[in-house]
Amino acid sequence: MSMALQALALVWLLTLTVGFLGLVRYLGTLQASNVGGRAPQGGWLFDTDGPTVPSPLPTATFEVWKRLNLPTEDLTVTFFSSRCGNCLEHAEKIAGLVADPAKNVFLITGLDDDALASMRARLAPTGAQLVFDPAAHDIVKSLDINSTPFVFRVVDGVVTAKSFIRKADDYVRVASVPMEGRSGGSPMPRLEELIPVSRLTEGATDAH
């Protein structure tokens, strides 16, 4: 009886060992393909990062938006952190792809003066508006964005596209998303329909 129990325990132990090794190999595969792990530069994955698509700008975001006088009709917003190892390289590539400065804004967070100056030197020639802390931080935090570099598109007050930037093509893809809400079918709701008038009034009051 004792020998049978020992044999059963040994078989069970071997089963657990094989299962554990399989799990380790599976997790290793996921990490290698960047599924279920962390994106580069400590950011979260695209599927779980940032606002839901589509979704209206949160009230907290809109209040900062209003203070900065940012447009809500059609705007591509690109987020860089001065502490991000490859953000400067991405910024330089994306700067050469900006087709319409009035429809672009760059959020740049961080406190390192030298890094901020380098980022400014790459992006200022685009003619697009540059937003630094604390406003940049407030926007990123209100949209629950943890990845950097990151880009999202706002059309008629609604976030219509987003992406973690692994290459410049990711920026181009988001910036060139067709504005379906204006090209046919049901139009996207206007900003006044997304946020109560009372909140718009409060946001405008807070800006002064």
CA distance readout (Å), 161 to 47, 154, 203: 12, 8, 25
CB-based contact 138:203 (threshold 8 Å): no
pLDDT score, position 139: 97
Q: Residue 161 and residue 54: Cα distance in Å, rounded? A: 7
Per domain, the residue ranges of the chain are 1-33, 42-206
pLDDT score, position 103: 97
* Helix/strand/coil for 190: coil
CA distance readout (Å), 197 to 188, 194, 200, 202, 204: 18, 9, 5, 9, 11
pLDDT score, position 15: 64
pLDDT score, position 1: 52
Q: Residue 156 and residue 162: Cα distance in Å, rounded? A: 15
Strands 129-132 and 104-109: what pairing? parallel
Q: Residue 139 and residue 88: Cα distance in Å, rounded? A: 20
pLDDT score, position 45: 58
pLDDT score, position 187: 40
pLDDT score, position 43: 42
pLDDT score, position 16: 59
Sign of CA dihedral 198, 201, 203, 208: negative
In this prediction, the residues of the chain whose per-residue pLDDT falls under 70 are 1-47, 179-208
pTM of the model: 0.67
Residue 45's φ and ψ, nearest 5 degrees, are -70, 155
pLDDT score, position 178: 78
Topology of domain 42-206 in CATH is Glutaredoxin (3.40.30)
pLDDT score, position 85: 86
* Helix/strand/coil for 88: helix
